[in-house]
Amino acid sequence: MVEIVIKEADSQGRLLIPVHWRAKWKSRKLAMIKRKDRIEIVPIDFISPSELFDSIKISDDVDFADPHSVKKVLLEQH
């Protein structure tokens, strides 16, 4: 569903985002993305560092005591 709201910017360029849109956001931080003549405003959802645990798959033969070994394996994955 697409919902369109027409707003006028104040003299300092500020816009008010409807409260029922903001109510579903977990954060007040927003990313503003300029694409040619359009601007996208996207809420940034922060994640807990614990959610990243085990999110990177690394082979078992990596020597974690050697940072160059770890870097080499990580670069090979991309």
Position 43 pLDDT exceeds 70: yes
Average pLDDT over residues 39-64: 82
Instruction: Considering only residues 45 and 12, tell me which one the structure prediction assigns the higher pLDDT.
Output: 12
SS percent in the chain: helix, strand, coil, step 5: 25, 15, 60
Lookup: tokens for 78: 């991309």
Q: How far is Cα 27 from Cα 40, in angstroms, rounded to an integer?
A: 17
Determine contact, residues 29/44, Cβ cutoff 8 Å. Answer: yes
Q: Answer yes or no: pTM beyond 0.75.
A: no
**Residues in CB range of 25: below 8 A, 6 or more apart:** 43, 45
